[in-house]
A and B are shown apart, each in its own frame.
Chain A
Amino acid sequence: EVQLVESGGGLVQPGGSLRLSCAASGFTFSNYWMHWVRQAPGRGLVWVSRINGDGSSTNYADSVKGRFTISRDNAKNTLWLQMNSLRAEDTAVYYCARVLWDYWGQGALVTVSS
């Protein structure tokens, strides 16, 4: 059974950092591009970043470029999102999803507030 399980969310002050993890199981993780998508409270879905199967290619939304870093460890079947210089507008539930968009994690809530 395919599973994506996020962890690492929480409350952080503006300017702080947080790292989200997405543990994958039930499929050959290294064969798939992976994505992060976020959803601010009461708002719509926004694409954040993607990474290819071997980690050599990444893309970011302009709103997070230079502050967020996506990475992966295929030996550990884990995807990460390192978030630095966090702002109030980064407050959202963050989802990981595989490229076919058929499986998503349950979401991790990140709250940026003083």
Chain B
Amino acid sequence: DIQMTQSPSSLSASIGDRVTITCRASQSISTYLNWYQQKPGKAPKLLIYAASSLQSGVPSTFSGSGSGTDFTLTISSLQPEDFASYYCQQSYTIPLTFGGGTKVEIK
């Protein structure tokens, strides 16, 4: 199975901060990488697909980059509604696997 390692597991940031979350795959997954945002009690919401494509309706403050084994989700200017948990997911091969998550909290 492909292991997805996210870091950090949590972070504290202020409104307007630039935030970067990384995700590393245990083997190359090309650009078969999705990023999700999840708020408590809600289903995950797709933010980025194919490593760098912004899902329709998602603010342009979110961006993704990377290929192969190393990927990054960047929030260019943190907004109040961005405090949530974030997950990466590889869709390269079965079993599909998710990173352990990053919780973004208010500083």
A residues with CB within 8 A of B: 35, 44-47, 50, 59, 61-62, 95, 100-102, 104-107
Interface size of B by CB at 8 A reads 21
Task: Please determine whether A44 and B95 come into contact, CB atoms closer than 8 angstroms.
Answer: no
A59 CB contacts on chain B under 8 angstroms: 94-95
Please give the distance in Å from B91's CB to the nearest CB on chain A.
Answer: 8
B43 CB contacts on chain A under 8 angstroms: 95, 104-107
Q: How far is the CA of A11 from the CA of B22 in the complex (A)?
A: 37
Q: How far is the CA of A105 from the CA of B34 in the complex (A)?
A: 18
**Residue among A44, A59, A61 facing the most chain B CB atoms (10 A cut-off):** A44
Task: Please determine whether A61 and B46 come into contact, CB atoms closer than 8 angstroms.
Answer: no
Cβ-closest chain B residue relative to A102: B46
